[in-house]
Amino acid sequence: MTDAGKTRTSVLPSSAYAEVLYGCNIRCSYCYIGEGLNHTNRTIPSADAWAQAFGVAYSLGVDEIIFLGGEPLMHPQLEAVLAAVDRVGFRSRGIVTNGTSLTVEKVRVLKQYGFWVDITLRASNETTWATITGSRSSWKHLERGTALLASSEIPVAIEFDCTPQNFRELYDTAAWVVRQGLQARHFQLHRILPMGDAEANYPINSLSPRQWNEVFDQANKIEGDFGIEVLAEDGLPFCLIDPSHWHRMLSCACGHSLVTISPDFSLRRCACDQAAVASLFDSPTDIQNALQIATAGKLPDPCVRCPAVEVCRGGCTASIAGSNGQRPDYYVDSFLPVSQATWQKYGLSLKSRRITGQQTSDI
């Protein structure tokens, strides 16, 4: 039920990631939150604090709330936090989870309060999963959790973190999803950006353009064999990818139609950008000004001269100057303007797109 008569202003982007806690039950080496926050100094705001924050976010124009973590399903007041979202009345509400802590009760309340679920996978098998997450036993929990989701009628999509350890397993992961009985709406592919534990190993976890094209070749086979659409987030630049794969690329929405709310209720332009730009409880004018400044970063010169820039946006805005404000994008030396002939052939029908409520929409 929506807060009737609540005054709203268009200050924040229409979608918001809410990092409902810092704390996780696995230890991925490239985690953007990191070992310290997830396992040493966890932050778990109360359900009452989140209820207040959700009301403010809604009043500032947010229509879609998406839970992140850490691992959001670990919140000790999970049902109360979900109920707070329902009371505010967000049009779309979702949760991104590693899937290992799903239980019958958690699936019940997710369904009761109208949440869709994105499961973030890292592998197609127990061995690779254990190598990446540091937890072999959690694979069995993932199998049980996805089996529960498969019988729940909750809308499900899959997110896949592409790393040198697993990039050849995308197709096998899709096959595993099908065997689990999940009716996945799509796969979203993610690149690893320099924040949290990933900062120390950047760019070790980055794929080469050749490897990315190998990933997309698997995407073609997934769509042909299983009928599951495969999309790529996180602003992978068009000039690195074979033009036959451009239709899968999503523009970076961060700071434009998407914002991140940290557990301390600070606002970040992007989940993968560690710099707070404002507080959710600042004045609407201060928030609006701060977001405008945060999204006004200068594109690399090759991007400015590229006909694809309006759709591509020059890669991820967090990594243009680095999520720490200093490190350049791993791919920046490979940026070259797309030729006009290539853009005429492959790009004229493309539009800037993002995912809202597990569906693609134009920006």
Query: Which pLDDT score, from 0 to 100, does residue 227 have?
Result: 98
Indicate whether 321 pLDDT > 70: no
Query: Which amino acid is present at 31?
Result: C
Q: Which two tokens stand for residue 139?
A: 């694979």
The answer to whether 254 touches 314, Cβ cutoff 8 Å, is no
Query: Which pLDDT score, from 0 to 100, does residue 322 have?
Result: 47
Q: Where are the domains of the chain?
A: 15-362
pLDDT tens for 18-41 read: 999 999 999 998 998 998 999 999
The single-letter DSSP state of residue 245 is: G
Identify the architecture of domain 15-362 in CATH.
Answer: Alpha-Beta Barrel (3.20)
pLDDT tens for 288-300 read: 999 988 887 777 7
The answer to whether 111 touches 154, Cβ cutoff 8 Å, is yes
Query: Band of the pLDDT at 320, cuts 50, 70, 90?
Result: low
pLDDT tens for 44-54 read: 999 999 999 99
Q: What is the pTM of this model?
A: 0.94
Whole-angstrom Cα distance, residue 173 to residue 191?
17
Mean pLDDT of the chain: 91
The answer to whether 97 touches 72, Cβ cutoff 8 Å, is yes
Indicate whether 177 pLDDT > 80: yes
Query: Band of the pLDDT at 318, cuts 50, 70, 90?
Result: low
- Mean pLDDT is lowest, of 83-87, 88-92, 273-277, for 273-277
Query: Band of the pLDDT at 231, cuts 50, 70, 90?
Result: very high
Query: Which pLDDT score, from 0 to 100, does residue 277 have?
Result: 93
DSSP-derived pairing of the beta strands 116-121 and 92-97: parallel
The answer to whether 251 touches 313, Cβ cutoff 8 Å, is yes
